[in-house]
Amino acid sequence: MSDFTPTSRTKVRQKPQRGVYDRAVINSILDEAFVCQIGFVLDGQPYVIPTNYVRVGQRLFLHGSTASRMFRALAAGAPLCLSVTLIDGLVLAPSVTGHSINYRSVVVLGKAAVIEGVQKKLAAMRAFVEHVIPGRWESMQPPGEPELQGTMVLAVPLDEVSAKIRTGPPVDHEKEYVHELWTGVLPLKLMPQEPVADPRGKAGIPVPAYVRNYSR
């Protein structure tokens, strides 16, 4: 697949050197994160709501309740903006205004389509689980038809897309390097902590490898 073509709506204008339209880079961001922020408009008021997603080929899938105000609006064709942000670190520069945050963010503009049909919804559910916790689906019973019916699955095409990325050390002008001050980057990463067993769970079941060795 070719890279994205920036439009007047997705072209990165502020610090354009951070704009990225490369499909492989954008896919890698979308595949590392699993929570996006969905922007939509109701009565002229923007709303931004976090939700889980997964990329499947050239589409992002979302799932939610058929009763959700957001999902009903999106299913009815409301224009949306889907934003994904990974925070990679803090940039400590010589100057105050040179301080920054290393991040990788993606913005997707478009409209969602409703995914219908038990088999397609089941495939989407599998993709959600396997995206968030690879290995989990195989150990489970798939959901039945009643459970699938209460869940709405939406697909957002990856058509009008751009990324913005800041990476690396401070970029202050050389003349700022005058004071005795540590400068550099403090990387940050979303890391798994010690698993907490379900108090209602069955006793004696070991923590599975896909939990013990979790990483993104």
In terms of CB distance, is 2 or 174 closer to a copy of itself? 174
Is residue 136 involved in binding a copy of itself (CB under 8 A)? yes
d(CA 105, CA 174): 28
Is residue 137 involved in binding a copy of itself (CB under 8 A)? yes
Tell me how far, at minimum, the Cβ of 208 lies from a copy of itself, in Å: 5
Closest CA to 125 of 201, 102, 133: 133
Is residue 119 involved in binding a copy of itself (CB under 8 A)? no
Tell me which residues in 63-102 interact with a copy of itself (CB under 8 A).
Answer: 64-65, 67-69, 79-83, 85, 87, 89-90, 92, 95-97, 99, 101
User: Residue 209 to residues 126, 196, 212: CA-CA distances in angstroms?
Assistant: 19, 14, 5
What is the arrangement of strands in the sheet containing 59-65, beginning at the earlier edge strand?
19-20, 160-166, 100-110, 80-92, 35-42, 45-56, 59-65, 151-157, 113-115
Tell me which residues in 41-60 interact with a copy of itself (CB under 8 A).
Answer: 41, 44-50, 52
Is residue 145 involved in binding a copy of itself (CB under 8 A)? no
**For the chain, first and last CA: distance in Å?**
24
Which of residues 54, 62, 107, 165 is near a copy of itself by CB under 8 A? 107
Tell me which residues in 151-190 interact with a copy of itself (CB under 8 A).
Answer: 151, 169-170, 174, 177, 179-190
